[in-house]
């Protein structure tokens, strides 16, 4: 579905604003052929922390793939992802950067796969680490452990007709390496959007 097995899967992610005509926010995601492959529609962003419903990552025709829910009000901003009736698939948590640091590389989000050899988010070592600045659309997802292989990358998108022109933050690229699940990578993106805010904004789970 996402291209050759030996080539990265490339997606264009459109961030929808709650100020749009539809009154929603969320995402629409297209593959390199322009096909809609993922979507997230959220009609109640202001209430999504209290109603417990979370956010739903769907495929292009609206079938649910992942349910993403915040876990309380933690300074680490923890979210859980669920797939069907299988319980928690992964937990993401944000580690706060040092207070005086302005370095993007000091921002770190950890991902713990439930059922993996490392166990849950109570384990000391995460399965994946997100490094860089999601707010600036410049970060990588790497597999933790031997080799620290980069499995996905989020980057600013350039205009096709004029490559020197960089598009705004509401349109960006997601590149997923062969062997890594694009559905999982997009689940990471949805959570990152909630826990990584602009540098000038207060550090809040929203």
What pLDDT digit, counting tens, does each position of 72-110 carry?
765 558 999 999 877 899 999 987 665 444 555 557 899
113 has a pLDDT exceeding 90 = yes
Residue with tokens 């979507």: 39
Averaged pLDDT, 138-151: 88
Query: By the 8 A CB rule, do 110 and 126 touch?
Result: yes
pLDDT of residue 51: 42
Query: By the 8 A CB rule, do 97 and 199 touch?
Result: no
Structural domain spans, the chain:
9-195
The pTM (predicted TM-score) of the whole model is 0.81
pLDDT of residue 202: 39
Alpha-carbon distances, residue 115 vs 2, 51, 159 (angstroms): 26, 27, 41
CB atoms within 10 A of CB 148: 11
What are 35-79's pLDDT values in tens digits?
999 999 876 554 444 345 689 999 999 999 999 999 876 555 899
pLDDT of residue 29: 96
Name the CA radius of gyration of the chain, rounded.
16
Residue with tokens 């109603």: 51
pLDDT of residue 161: 57
- Cα-based angle 206, 137, 204 (whole degrees, multiple of 5): 20
CATH number of 9-195: 2.40.160.200
Query: By the 8 A CB rule, do 41 and 23 touch?
Result: no
User: Smallest Cα–Cα separation from 56: which of 154, 149, 183?
Assistant: 183
Burial 11-43 (b: 16+ CB within 10 A, else e): bbbebbeeeeeeeebbbbbbbeeeeebbbbebe
pLDDT of residue 177: 96
pLDDT of residue 122: 61
User: Smallest Cα–Cα separation from 169: which of 155, 190, 149?
Assistant: 155
3-class DSSP assignment, residue 182: helix
Quote the tokens at residue 157. 């998108």
Alpha-carbon distances, residue 145 vs 83, 126, 136 (angstroms): 25, 9, 26
35 vs 180: CA distance, rounded Å: 20
Residue 155 — φ and ψ, nearest 5°?
-145, 160
């Amino acid at each position: 579905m996402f291209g050759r097995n030996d080539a990265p899967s490339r997606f264009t992610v459109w961030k929808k604003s709650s100020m749009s005509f539809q009154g929603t926010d969320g995402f629409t995601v297209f593959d390199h052929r322009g096909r809609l492959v993922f979507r997230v529609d959220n009609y109640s962003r202001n209430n999504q922390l209290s109603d417990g419903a979370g956010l739903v990552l769907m495929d292009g025709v609206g079938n649910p793939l992942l349910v993403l829910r915040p876990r309380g009000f933690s300074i680490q901003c923890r979210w859980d992802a669920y797939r069907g009736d299988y319980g928690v698939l992964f937990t993401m948590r944000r580690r706060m950067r040092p207070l005086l640091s302005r370095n993007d590389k000091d921002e770190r989000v950890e991902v713990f796969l439930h059922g993996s050899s490392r166990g849950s988010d109570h384990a000391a070592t995460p399965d994946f680490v997100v490094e860089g600045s999601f707010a600036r659309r410049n970060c990588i997802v790497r597999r933790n452990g031997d080799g620290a292989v980069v499995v996905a990358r989020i980057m600013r998108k350039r205009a096709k007709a004029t490559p020197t022109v960089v598009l705004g933050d509401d349109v960006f690229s997601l590149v997923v390496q062969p062997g890594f699940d694009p559905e999982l990578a997009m689940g990471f993106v949805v959570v990152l959007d909630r826990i990584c805010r602009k540098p000038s904004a207060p550090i809040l789970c929203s």
